[in-house]
Amino acid sequence: MTASPVAGRPRVAVLQDGARMHYALPIALQRAGLLYRMFTEYYAAPGSAEAWVARLVGLVRPALARRMHLRYHAELDTARVVRNPWLTVPQRIAGVTSPTLEDAYIRMSRLAGQWVRRVGWGRADALMGFIRNIDPRLCRSARRQGLLVVGDQIIAPAAVEHQEAAIQRERFPGWEPPPKLLQVRQLEHETWAVLDHITAPSEYVRDGLIGEGVAPERVSVLPYPAAAEWLRYVERPPDRKPLTVGFVGQVNLRKGTPYFFEMARRFDPREARFVMVGHVYLYPEAVAKYARNVQLVGGHSRKQAGEWLERFDILYFPSTCEGSVGAVMEAMMSGLPVVATPNGGTVIRHAVDGFLTAYDDLDAAAAYLERLVRDPELRRHIGRAAHERACQFGVDAYGRMLRDMFDRLLRERAGRHAAGA
């Protein structure tokens, strides 16, 4: 694995907010010989001040300390990490004082952008970050200084997300506070306008971008990798009763929680029990009324969530709007048969390595789940195919796709400049 950019290859600087995607983007760039710098606000490398602070926090708040220690990846070349832990202070203040969560994110991205502009990108040829988290003014500044600027659209555009959220609020009033996405939509449009190129993790996201007016040639589909390489393929007992139909993720309307609740009511608990692993963001009265047939485990660490995947026999993920669901890819890696939705942005091929159906077509989803519940050989066959499919989308493959994209974009830009000259 190459830690330094390879001679003749693009030198890419990445703005990494938090541990998004478990650092899959900078690691993929590093393996491909492209990573020049990673800018991040907090990184708890061994021996760093952040790691010592996390140790001290662990004396009084162990759970928080564990999350702090997760802001580190052993594979990343620490010499290429440019961090600013002091940035967390004004970002925390922004989070507390902003009227909405969306306002807080915008203020945080501006603070990070101002810091990166002060530090500078050195000899980087390109800058990449996550749309909604990278400040468009930073992107504009980078382009003025000759960098190629690429943004990753982490979820379907806010207009699509807003439309889907409105449908769910109308169907399930009083389940959760409404999201405020109009500011996010404006931020996205400002960011798209100052980018050279956009990556989308799925065709679902790409279609949403085109629907919002982004030219198709400005978008490349690069599916997110199965970054949880510690997950292993698991052979589930074929005769286990009851089977466990599981879910891992935020328990809210966007993830299709009401459809999961309703599905649980359709099955005999002696045949299939339904379990949701993740923080609950719904009003307690809604959960109490509808979740009688579902075990709500609550939030867990990433590793604990992986242990739950090993206990599941089937994953059901009726998401209404995503970018590309990491939990689905991790489930596939572990050999779970999955029933999901096209809106989840998954790499599943219908009836080959999983089943896809509209999130509100409960009859179709129930039929697929019923087949899987009753047929252990089908579960094994689909689970094995799912594992093989997920293995095609590892971090190395993601790095190769990124390398090919940057090579192509820089080559095309050089050609345009030559023609203009």
Tell me whether residue 235 is in a domain. Answer: no
Residues 323 and 206 reside in one and the same domain:
no
What pLDDT score was predicted for residue 5? 64
Q: Which residue range forms the structural domain that includes residue 104? A: 12-225+395-420
More confident residue, 326 or 193: 193
Tell me whether residue 129 is in a domain. Answer: yes
pLDDT digits over 356-403, tens only? 999 999 999 999 999 999 999 999 999 999 999 999 999 999 999 999
Hey, what are 23's tokens? 């650092």
What pLDDT score was predicted for residue 183? 80
More confident residue, 69 or 207: 207
What pLDDT score was predicted for residue 1? 42
Residues 298 and 332 reside in one and the same domain:
yes
Residues 139 and 62 reside in one and the same domain:
yes
pLDDT for 254 beyond 90: yes
What pLDDT score was predicted for residue 6? 61
Residues 402 and 295 reside in one and the same domain:
no
Residues 216 and 169 reside in one and the same domain:
yes
Could you tell me which of 36, 17, 53 has the C-alpha nearest to residue 130? 17
Q: How confident is the model at residue 2 (pLDDT cuts 50, 70, 90)?
A: very low
pLDDT for 165 beyond 50: yes
- Can you give the CATH number for the domain in which 271 is found? 3.40.50.2000
Please, are residues 210 and 229 in contact by the beta-carbon 8 Å criterion? no
Residues 131 and 72 reside in one and the same domain:
yes
What pLDDT score was predicted for residue 86? 85
The region of weakest confidence among 18-27, 252-261, 262-271 is 18-27
Residues 89 and 29 reside in one and the same domain:
yes
What average pLDDT score do residues 108-115 get? Answer: 90
Tell me whether residue 5 is in a domain. Answer: no
Report pTM.
0.92
Tell me whether residue 173 is in a domain. Answer: yes
Residues 57 and 100 reside in one and the same domain:
yes
pLDDT digits over 84-98, tens only? 888 887 777 877 787
Q: For all residues of the chain together, what is the average pLDDT?
A: 91
What pLDDT score was predicted for residue 237? 92
More confident residue, 41 or 182: 41
What pLDDT score was predicted for residue 63? 78
Tell me whether residue 384 is in a domain. Answer: yes
Residues 401 and 379 reside in one and the same domain:
no
**Residue percentage of the chain with pLDDT more than 70:** 97
Q: How confident is the model at residue 28 (pLDDT cuts 50, 70, 90)?
A: very high
Tell me whether residue 230 is in a domain. Answer: no
pLDDT for 22 beyond 80: yes
Residues 26 and 115 reside in one and the same domain:
yes
What pLDDT score was predicted for residue 377? 97
Tell me whether residue 37 is in a domain. Answer: yes
What average pLDDT score do residues 29-50 get? Answer: 93
Residues 220 and 106 reside in one and the same domain:
yes
Residues 146 and 43 reside in one and the same domain:
yes
Most confident segment among 58-62, 227-231, 279-283: 279-283
HEC secondary structure over the chain: CCCCCCCCCCCEEEECCCCHHHHHHHHHHHHCCCEEEEEECCCCCCCCHHHHHHHHHHCCCHHHHHHHHCCCCCCCCHHHEEECHHHHHHHHHHHHHCCCHHHHHHHHHHHHHHHHHHHCCCCCCEEEEECCCCCHHHHHHHHHCCCEEEEECCCCCHHHHHHHHHHHHHHCCCCCCCCCCHHHHHHHHHHHHCCCEEEECCHHHHHHHHHCCCCHHHEEECCCCCCCCCCCCCCCCCCCCCEEEEEECCECCCCCHHHHHHHHHCCCCCCEEEEEECCECCCHHHHHHHCCCEEEEECCCHHHHHHHHHHCCEEEECCCCCCCCHHHHHHHHCCCCEEECHHHCCCCCCCCCCEECCCCCHHHHHHHHHHHHHCHHHHHHHHHHHHHHHHCCCHHHHHHHHHHHHHHHHHHHHHHHHHHC
The domain tally of the chain equals 2
What average pLDDT score do residues 201-218 get? Answer: 97
